[in-house]
Amino acid sequence: MTDHDTIPVLAHGLVKRFGDFVAVDRINLEARTGEVVGFLGPNGSGKSTTIRMLCGLLRPSAGQALVAGFDVAREPEQVRRRIGYMSQKFSLYNDLRVIENIRFFAGMYDVPASLLNERTQWVLDMAGLAGRESTITGTLPGGWKQRLALGCAVLHRPSILFLDEPTSGVDPISRRRFWELIHAMADEGVTVLVTTHYMDEAEYCNRLVLIFQGRIVAAGSPTELKQQAMTGELLLIECDQLGLALDVLQQVPGARDVALFGNALHVVVPDGQTSIPRLRDALSAHGVAVSRIEPIRASLEDVFVSLTARLSDRRT
Amino acid sequence: MLRRLRGMLVKEFIQVFRDTRTRTLLFAPPIIQMLIFGYAATLEVRHIPVAALDYDNSQVSRELLSRFTASPYFDVRAYLNDRREIGDLIDRGEVTVALQINGGFAQDLRKGQPARLQVIVDSSNSNTALVAVGYINQIAARYAQEFQRTQLLRTSLFASSQIPSIVLERRPLFNINFDSQWFFVPGVIGNLILVMVVSLTAFAIVREREIGTLEQIMVTPIGRLEFILGKTLPFFLIGLFDTALVSLVGTFWFGVPFRGSIGVLAIGSILFILCMLGIGLFISTISRTQQQAMVSGFFFNMPAITFSGFGTPISSMPEWLQTLTYLNPLRYFLEILRGVYLKGVGLDVLWPQMVGMGLLGSIMLAISVARFQKSLD
């Protein structure tokens, strides 16, 4: 178990290169006991690579990471004893029965024989699989498989849990239930690092780290991020000819971060009162019929669009 | 350590034996293939289809042709009247050999002049062609000799007993009847074990990589060696079992004599299976998908079998290739198999082969284990 004064996850200047490609570029990271830290970023941004380095699965090209106080590059075995890891694939053996998967991973994690029954029961209860011990794992629905995978990853009661897109391909109700489990564990002092690209899930995290092109572009609580990033006012525009409207809005001076959200557009402007008429005029001049323009509260998705758009502009 | 290893083994065996298809795949194909290869893998050339074209049409020429009809090596399928028919028959593969006897054949023979028998042979299969020409040569030479003897017999009884000749006194060791099955069946055992163990091992590991369980296991405290041991030990045991199985088929179905000791064969098999585990493991470290593993396995299996002395004798390969065959574990294993089966020799003779496989196996396993570490990155 981790000492109370060690920071469970601490990374400094972490770099991972694959040939010429820099997947993770000097990332600094800290997660405190009982914290749920969310890694947010598009596919290929380096989230998974970072998590896999922290688990000791990948060797960092440069920089240092301490997990549970141990250096991941030098003492990966020590790190592994103290962490749980679950990937988006729910890596269980589909041809084994539920109970056989549990016993297998209990064996791999050296769960003492005296605790085996208790832990097995705990996992079965948590996953809601009591009574289905002898079901072949492959025949379970996604949500159940996901909870079983989580159970198998925490059989040894790790103090740190890494989850790599744990909810991909799972229905919304199962996702909600999964997050309840995560929070229950965090309440018991488990530190959780989770990657996701579901923006609504990000709201469940205590702290968010936004990664883009291998770099951390913002970090903070969901509320902090929204305040920090959204300088200006966010407007919702409902109109026809969305594609044309998008082009038009991008040409209006002052308007930025224009993005499509469902069947509406979001745009950030310095000041709503003066901008709304200007936008409306610009759109109708191009024959776009506007049914609604009004200021709304920013969601994390807006924050993300806004931050990554600025970065892309700078790089190109 | 032991608990984790046991956990791995329990899991592997459940996976292998739960699925009926996998279960049958482990044991049925080796037996079936053993039966098929045992019958098909042979160098014997018999029943060569022949077309005969006799322009001489004499008693002598007919008698010569009847020698071919009587031979077990030839089937005279067609008697032709026109040499233009030959090309077509050979093109369509209906005959391999055409014998053409020109007019004046009997006359030449009686005069003591060289009589010509034209042999047209389809040598697209060079081996069959060579063997066929050899047999034709024998039949023709024997016929000529007998012809000469009868001729002399007519003129002087004394002279006919004076014809010098060499008579072979054949004393074949180990395989009195030159039964080619005896040669091939032990070889097939080696090939089967090679293919089974290499592909099973490579697939088992690559499959875990594909479905992501490899990564999941690698974040547990399990050591790399423990994992590799847990993954290879089941196939080591299955490999040994399969060896015993196909060896039994070889002995009891094909009647290949087993003259040596089971112990020597067991030692040889263990060393050979270790080499194959090393190869399988190596393939798993260079393959991301089972498809890649299959292709890589193929690139190993084909040359390994070709350069093992399974069909073509190593002594007839170019010198530099012969040297390379010392790197081929199958070469040693085949020598052991044939040594134990047919010659009944023991460790006093076969120890160099054992040492060779031991060395190769250790090197391959060491390289593969080292590579396995890196392949996770």
The 10s digit of each residue's pLDDT in B261-271 is 999 999 999 99
Question: Per-residue pLDDT for B362 more than 90?
Answer: yes
Same domain (yes/no): B363, B250: yes
Same domain (yes/no): B127, B221: no
DSSP letter for each residue of B64-102: HHHHHHH-TTEEEEEEES-THHHHHHHHTTS-SEEEEE-
Determine the pLDDT at residue B274.
94
Determine the pLDDT at residue B376.
63
**Residue B59: which CATH number?**
3.40.1710.10
Q: Do B7 and A59 touch (CB under 8 A)?
A: no
Whether residue B169 lies inside any domain: the answer is no
The whole domain housing A89 covers: 9-221
The chain A residue lying nearest B207, using CA atoms, is A93
Same domain (yes/no): B278, B223: yes
Same domain (yes/no): B250, B128: no
User: What percent of chain B stands above pLDDT 90?
Assistant: 42
Determine the pLDDT at residue B364.
92
Q: Which of A223-237, B35-49, B135-149 has the highest mean pLDDT?
A: B135-149
Say if strands A233-239 and A264-269 run parallel, antiparallel, or are unpaired: antiparallel
Cβ(B274)–Cβ(B361) below 8 Å: yes
Whether residue A313 lies inside any domain: the answer is no
Same domain (yes/no): A180, A86: yes
Same domain (yes/no): B319, B227: yes
- Looking at every residue in chain B, the average pLDDT score rounds to 88
Can you tell me the distance from the alpha carbon of B183 to that of B186, in angstroms, rounded to the nearest whole number?
A: 7
Residue A127: φ, ψ to 5°: -85, -5
Give the closest of B8, B10, B15 to A95, CB-based: B15
**Which chain A residues are closer than 8 Å to B18 by Cβ?**
95-96
Q: Do B221 and A104 touch (CB under 8 A)?
A: no
Question: Per-residue pLDDT for B177 more than 80?
Answer: no
B3 touches chain A (CB under 8 A): yes
Same domain (yes/no): A56, A155: yes
Whether residue B230 lies inside any domain: the answer is yes
Give the ipTM: 0.76
Distance from CA of B279 to the nearest CA of A (A): 24
Whether residue B167 lies inside any domain: the answer is no
Same domain (yes/no): B315, B367: yes
Same domain (yes/no): A217, A92: yes
Chain A to chain B Cβ contacts (< 8 Å): 70
Q: Which amino acid is at A145?
A: K
Pick from A1-10, B107-116, B241-250, B287-296: least confident: A1-10
Give the closest of A87, A95, A96 to B212, CB-based: A87
The 10s digit of each residue's pLDDT in A253-300 is 888 888 888 888 888 888 878 888 888 888 888 888 888 888 887 777
Report angle CA A217, A221, A222 to the nearest 5 degrees. Answer: 85
**Which chain A residues are closer than 8 Å to B4 by Cβ?**
107-108, 110
Whether residue B238 lies inside any domain: the answer is yes
Cβ(A283)–Cβ(A239) below 8 Å: yes
Same domain (yes/no): B191, B64: no
B221 touches chain A (CB under 8 A): yes
Same domain (yes/no): A152, A181: yes
**Which chain A residues are closer than 8 Å to B222 by Cβ?**
108
Last residue within a domain, chosen from B127, B160, B193:
B160
The chain A residue lying nearest B230, using CA atoms, is A108
Whether residue A293 lies inside any domain: the answer is yes
The chain A residue lying nearest B222, using CA atoms, is A108
> 3-state SS of chain A?
CCCCCCCCEEEEEEEEEECCEEEEEEEEEEECCCCEEEEECCCCCCHHHHHHHHCCCCCCCEEEEEECCEECCCCHHHHHHHEEEECCCCCCCCCCEHHHHHHHHHHHCCCCHHHHHHHHHHHHHHHCCCCCCCCEHHHCCHHHHHHHHHHHHCCCCCCEEEEECCCCCCCHHHHHHHHHHHHHHHHCCCEEEEEECCHHHHCCCCEEEEEECCEEEEEECHHHHHHHHCCCEEEEEEECCHHHHHHHHHHCCCCEEEEEECCEEEEEECCHHHHHHHHHHHHHHCCCCEEEEEEECCCHHHHHHHHHHHHHHHHC
**Which chain B residues are closer than 8 Å to A57 by Cβ?**
215, 218-219, 376
Which helix (H) or strand (E) covers residue B53, if one does? Answer: strand B48-54
Q: Do B213 and A91 touch (CB under 8 A)?
A: yes
Same domain (yes/no): B310, B207: yes
Instruction: Write the CA distances from B348 to B83, B304, B338, integer angstroms.
Output: 60, 26, 15
Q: Which residue out of B219, B376, B377 would a mutagenesis test of the A interface target, given it has the greatest number of A Cβ atoms within 10 Å? A: B219
Last residue within a domain, chosen from A221, A252, A271:
A221
The chain A residue lying nearest B20, using CA atoms, is A95
Same domain (yes/no): A284, A240: yes
Rg, chain B, Cα only: 28
Determine the pLDDT at residue A190.
94
Q: Which residue out of B216, B218, B231 would a mutagenesis test of the A interface target, given it has the greatest number of A Cβ atoms within 10 Å? A: B216
Whether residue A202 lies inside any domain: the answer is yes
Whether residue A310 lies inside any domain: the answer is no
Q: Do A89 and B220 touch (CB under 8 A)?
A: no
Distance from CA of B246 to the nearest CA of A (A): 29
Pick from B46-55, B144-153, B197-206, B362-371: least confident: B144-153
B10 touches chain A (CB under 8 A): yes
Distance from CA of B218 to the nearest CA of A (A): 7
Instruction: Count how many domains chain B has.
Output: 2
Last residue within a domain, chosen from B160, B190, B225:
B160
Q: pLDDT confidence of B185, banded at 50, 70, 90? A: confident
Give the closest of A80, A95, A100 to B221, CB-based: A80
Determine the pLDDT at residue B161.
63
Whether residue B330 lies inside any domain: the answer is yes
**Which chain B residues are closer than 8 Å to A94 by Cβ?**
211
Determine the pLDDT at residue A313.
62
Can you tell me the distance from the alpha carbon of B98 to that of B175, in angstroms, rounded to the nearest whole number?
A: 33
Q: Do A87 and B216 touch (CB under 8 A)?
A: yes
Q: What mean pLDDT do residues B222-231 have? A: 87
Question: Per-residue pLDDT for B174 more than 50?
Answer: yes
Whether residue A2 lies inside any domain: the answer is no
User: Chain A interface residues facing chain B, Cβ-Cβ under 8 Å?
Assistant: 52, 55-59, 77, 80-81, 83, 85-87, 89, 91-96, 100, 103-110, 153
Q: Do B215 and A57 touch (CB under 8 A)?
A: yes
Same domain (yes/no): B36, B98: no
Whether residue A42 lies inside any domain: the answer is yes
The 10s digit of each residue's pLDDT in B338-356 is 999 989 899 999 999 999 9
The whole domain housing B144 covers: 48-160
Same domain (yes/no): A157, A249: no
Dihedral angle over CA of B175, B178, B180, B182, nearest 10: -10
Cβ(A54)–Cβ(A67) below 8 Å: yes
Tokens in use for B365?
């396993």
Same domain (yes/no): A217, A284: no
Last residue within a domain, chosen from A170, A193, A221:
A221
Determine the pLDDT at residue B41.
72
Same domain (yes/no): A75, A192: yes
**Which chain B residues are closer than 8 Å to A61 by Cβ?**
none
B14 touches chain A (CB under 8 A): yes
Instruction: Give SS3 for B121.
Output: strand
Same domain (yes/no): A198, A255: no
The chain B residue lying nearest A155, using CA atoms, is B220
Same domain (yes/no): A192, A237: no
Structure-model confidence comparison of residues A198 and B82, the more confident one: B82
Q: Which residue out of A61, A108, A150, A152 would a mutagenesis test of the B interface target, given it has the greatest number of B Cβ atoms within 10 Å? A: A108
Same domain (yes/no): B246, B371: yes
**Which chain B residues are closer than 8 Å to A87 by Cβ?**
212, 215-216
Determine the pLDDT at residue A1.
45
Determine the pLDDT at residue A84.
93
Last residue within a domain, chosen from A221, A242, A277:
A221
Whether residue B174 lies inside any domain: the answer is no
Q: Do B11 and A100 touch (CB under 8 A)?
A: yes
Report angle CA A305, A12, A303 to the nearest 5 degrees. Answer: 10
Whether residue A311 lies inside any domain: the answer is no
Can you tell me the distance from the alpha carbon of A68 to that of A85, in angstroms, rounded to the nearest whole number?
A: 14
Whether residue A148 lies inside any domain: the answer is yes
Distance from CA of A34 to the nearest CA of B (A): 21
Give the closest of B7, B19, B218 to A107, CB-based: B7
Same domain (yes/no): B245, B313: yes
Q: pLDDT confidence of B110, banded at 50, 70, 90? A: confident
**Which chain B residues are closer than 8 Å to A100 by Cβ?**
11, 14
Same domain (yes/no): B256, B135: no
The chain A residue lying nearest B9, using CA atoms, is A104
Instruction: Count how many domains chain A has.
Output: 2
Q: What mean pLDDT do residues B213-237 have? A: 89
In chain A, which stretches have pLDDT less than 50?
A: 1-4, 316
Whether residue B37 lies inside any domain: the answer is yes
**Residue A267: which CATH number?**
3.30.70.100
Same domain (yes/no): A22, A57: yes
Same domain (yes/no): A235, A125: no
**Residue A96: which CATH number?**
3.40.50.300
**Which chain B residues are closer than 8 Å to A80 by Cβ?**
219-221
Which helix (H) or strand (E) covers residue B105, if one does? Answer: helix B105-111
Determine the pLDDT at residue B241.
92
Residue A129: φ, ψ to 5°: -110, 10
Which helix (H) or strand (E) covers residue B20, if one does? Answer: helix B20-40
Q: Which residue out of A52, A91, A136 would a mutagenesis test of the B interface target, given it has the greatest number of B Cβ atoms within 10 Å? A: A91
